[in-house]
Amino acid sequence: MKRRSPTARPITVERIERALDRVAEIIVARDAQGEAWLPLYDYLERAQQDYQAKQDRLAAVRQRAKRSRD
């Protein structure tokens, strides 16, 4: 049995992309039953958008802080 690390792996855009790819494969492979996986796909897409928006905001904050120091 595989043991999980006590610390969760960080969420990255790459991990979200891999999950989206896998869920898309499942949806297509299962044809009509694949529709049941659409809520998960939608969730992952929103998570990807939220993650990217957060990264963009952090970059803007860093730039503002840098400008204020200059």
Could you report the per-residue pLDDT of 13-69, keeping only the tens digit for each? 999 999 999 999 999 999 999 999 999 999 999 999 999 999 999 999 999 999 999
* Token pair in block for residue 27: 């949806």
* In a domain? residue 41: yes
* In a domain? residue 50: yes
In Å, how far from its chain's centre is CA 6?
21
* In a domain? residue 1: no
* In a domain? residue 52: yes
Rg (alpha carbons) of the chain, rounded to whole number: 18
Domains contained in the chain, number: 1
pLDDT surpasses 80 at 2:
no
Question: Which residue range is the domain that position 26 belongs to?
Answer: 13-69
